[in-house]
Amino acid sequence: PTPVEFTGTHQAGIVTPAQDRLHFVAFDVVTDSREALVAMLASWTAAARRLTAGEIVGPDDSGEAQGLPPSGLTLTVGFGPTLFMTGDGVDRFELAARRPKSLVELPVFPGDALDPSISGGDLCVQACANDPQVAVHAVRSLVRLGVGVVRVRWTQLGFGRTSSTSTAQATPRNLLGFKDGTANLKAENGSALEQFVWVGEDDVAWLAGGSYLVTRRIRMLIEDWDQVPAPHQEAVIGRTKTAGAPLGQRKEFDPTDFGAVRGDGPAIPHNSHVFLSHPTNSGTAMLRRGYSFVDGTDDSGRLDAGLFFIAYQRNPDTGFVQVQRNLAADALNRFIQHRSSAVFACPPGARDADDWWGRTLF
Ligand code: HEM
């Protein structure tokens, strides 16, 4: 398979087909030097161009990806709110006036159990590939190039994409055992992408063609879920487990019919996940691109597993925040817990061979 094109109006790794593996990394910037930061972003871009083409970074490449194909590697960069102004109000890089109004830490939602040490970050890189070693090599290479400028704040490994971003992809399943990504926004939905995913020229000029990224590490209470019989699980989600059909329908891509009745109630319960997150009831849409994770077990022997939720949207307020508010009554909440949160502005793609990540911002 050919490598995913690095150059373009939009960064790769958003609407390009979701790969199987994720290595996500959030950084803190440890220098106050704008020049050093800009130089690093330029060197990261050059490295990303080579890595995504399946080439070694340079003579001092760490080596573990040699002989491996590009494996669909994409590298997507984002800038967090604290890059523009630190938590205590310092404008380290003369960026405060350039901060998009919508780029602020997400509000607190009911039930949040966030750990600040695995939340936030000044910068992020989302590395996705079909081979975990290729994604890890890419992150490791960028970390090496960033020594003295950035420090890793937190990382998340993911396996098993939980979303399709193209109609050509089969819908995968998440760790609840349900198909995930059926009603996602997809690469083929051109006008919906303009409406819901890409920042427009008239919005924030330097970010035009970019998108906002929201990440949430959502732990699943797997052992509790496994005690629940499948028909009840289906009522929680609002779709059937085997086919992934909306309740009341037969096939995965049958339309969601909120008027359908079953017994003496609606086929799709009004507190189900699909009912509350569907555009009809949330009033909006976003592009989901999450991954499953299993990070071992906790002290009580329960799987520390779940969904590393990733969503791209034109504006976090009218994207993730709006849907998440609507999910306050979600029957799924009994089985999940949000442990980390982050938001980043992902700039447009590199337009040619000389362009670099962040040029339009700096
Ligand atoms: C749909 C699972 C968290 C937004 C779905 C579906 C499943 C699912 C199985 C149905 C298939 C599909 O259309 O993709 C989960 C699980 C979650 C989770 C297991 C947590 C562990 C979230 C969160 C949001 C969200 C935090 C956003 C705030 C959506 C949306 C849809 C959806 C927008 C499509 C609804 C539609 O248009 O029919 N999710 N989800 N989900 N989910 Fe989630």
pLDDT single digits (tens) 118-162: 999 999 999 999 999 999 999 999 999 999 999 999 999 999 888
Taking CA 201 as the corner, what is the angle to CA 196 and CA 206, rounded to the nearest 5 degrees? 105
Instruction: Please give the torsion angle defined by the CA atoms of residues 116, 119, 122 and 125, in that order, rounded to the nearest 10 degrees.
Output: 150
Buried b (16+ CB within 10 A) or exposed e, 180-213: bbbbbbbbebeeebeebbbbeeeebebbbbbbbb
Query: How far is the C-alpha of 184 from the C-alpha of 217, rounded, in Å?
Result: 19
Phi, psi (rounded to 5 degrees) for 104: -135, 155
- 52 Cα: distance to centroid of ligand 1 (angstroms): 30
Instruction: Please give the torsion angle defined by the CA atoms of residues 88, 94, 99 and 104, in that order, rounded to the nearest 10 degrees.
Output: -20
Q: pLDDT, tens digit, for every residue of 286-317?
A: 999 999 999 999 999 999 999 999 999 999 99
- 85 Cα: distance to centroid of ligand 1 (angstroms): 32
Taking the CA atoms of the chain, what radius of gyration do you get in angstroms? 20
Buried b (16+ CB within 10 A) or exposed e, 334-360: ebbbbbbbbbbbbbbbbeeeebbbbbb
Q: For residue 263, what are its two tokens? A: 């017994």
For 75, the 3-state DSSP assignment is: strand
Q: Which residue has the tokens 């990440």?
A: 215
- 157 Cα: distance to centroid of ligand 1 (angstroms): 20
- 23 Cα: distance to centroid of ligand 1 (angstroms): 21
Q: Which residue's C-alpha comes closest to atom 25 of ligand 1? A: 277
Query: How far is the C-alpha of 227 from the C-alpha of 118, rounded, in Å?
Result: 30
- DSSP strand pairing (261-262 vs 265-266): antiparallel
Residue 116 lies in a domain: yes
- 75 Cα: distance to centroid of ligand 1 (angstroms): 24
Atom of ligand 1 nearest to the CA of 306: 21
> In angstroms, what CA-CA distances link 128 with 30, 37, 42, 147, 220?
25, 24, 20, 22, 22
Report the domain count for the chain: 1
Question: Is the per-residue pLDDT at 114 higher than 80?
Answer: yes
Of the candidates 119, 126, 122, the residue with the CA atom closest to the CA atom of residue 154 = 119
Q: Which domain holds residue 313?
A: 21-87+108-346
Query: To test the ligand 1 pocket, which listed residue (156, 186, 288) has its Cβ within 8 A of the most ligand atoms?
Result: 288
Confidence of residue 190 (pLDDT cuts 50, 70, 90): confident
**Rounded average pLDDT over 107-127:** 97
Atom of ligand 1 nearest to the CA of 311: 27
- DSSP strand pairing (150-161 vs 291-297): antiparallel
Confidence of residue 102 (pLDDT cuts 50, 70, 90): very high
Q: Which residue's C-alpha comes closest to atom 2 of ligand 1? A: 180
Phi, psi (rounded to 5 degrees) for 311: -135, 145
Question: Is the per-residue pLDDT at 194 higher than 90?
Answer: yes
Q: Which residue's C-alpha comes closest to atom 10 of ligand 1? A: 180
Query: To test the ligand 1 pocket, which listed residue (164, 240, 277, 326) has its Cβ within 8 A of the most ligand atoms?
Result: 277
CB 283 within 8 A of CB 195: no
Query: How far is the C-alpha of 312 from the C-alpha of 197, rounded, in Å?
Result: 6
pTM exceeding the 0.90 threshold for the entire prediction: yes
Q: Residue 198: its pLDDT value, please?
A: 97
Confidence of residue 47 (pLDDT cuts 50, 70, 90): very high
Query: How far is the C-alpha of 167 from the C-alpha of 18, rounded, in Å?
Result: 11
Q: Residue 157: its pLDDT value, please?
A: 98
Query: To test the ligand 1 pocket, which listed residue (294, 309, 335) has its Cβ within 8 A of the most ligand atoms?
Result: 309
Residue 305 lies in a domain: yes
**Rounded average pLDDT over 259-275:** 95
**Rounded average pLDDT over 171-188:** 95
What is the average pLDDT score of the chain?
96
Summarize the chain as % helix, strand, coil (round to 5).
Answer: 25, 25, 50
Residue 257 lies in a domain: yes
Confidence of residue 1 (pLDDT cuts 50, 70, 90): confident
**Biggest CA-to-CA distance, the chain:** 69
Q: Residue 162: its pLDDT value, please?
A: 85
Q: Residue 43: its pLDDT value, please?
A: 98
Q: Which residue's C-alpha comes closest to atom 37 of ligand 1? A: 278
Atom of ligand 1 nearest to the CA of 320: 28
Residue 255, class by beta-carbon neighbours within 10 Å (0-12 exposed, 13-18 middle, 19+ buried)? Answer: exposed
Q: Which residue's C-alpha comes closest to atom 14 of ligand 1? A: 181
Residue 310 lies in a domain: yes
Q: Which residue's C-alpha comes closest to atom 23 of ligand 1? A: 324
Q: Which residue's C-alpha comes closest to atom 24 of ligand 1? A: 324
Residue 275 lies in a domain: yes
- 277 Cα: distance to centroid of ligand 1 (angstroms): 7
Q: Residue 193: its pLDDT value, please?
A: 96
Query: To test the ligand 1 pocket, which listed residue (106, 178, 180, 225) has its Cβ within 8 A of the most ligand atoms?
Result: 180
**Rounded average pLDDT over 104-131:** 97
Q: Would you list the DSSP string of 257-307?
A: -TT-EETTEESS-TTSHHHHHSHHHHS---EE--EEEEEEE-TTS-EEEEE
CB 288 within 8 A of CB 181: yes
Ligand 1 proximal residues by C-beta, below 6 Å? 174, 176, 178-184, 216, 218, 220, 237, 239, 256, 273-274, 277-279, 306-307, 309, 320, 323-324, 327, 336
Residue 284 lies in a domain: yes
Confidence of residue 164 (pLDDT cuts 50, 70, 90): confident
Q: Which residue's C-alpha comes closest to atom 42 of ligand 1? A: 277
Buried b (16+ CB within 10 A) or exposed e, 88-121: eeeebbebeebbbebbeebeebeeeebeeebbbb
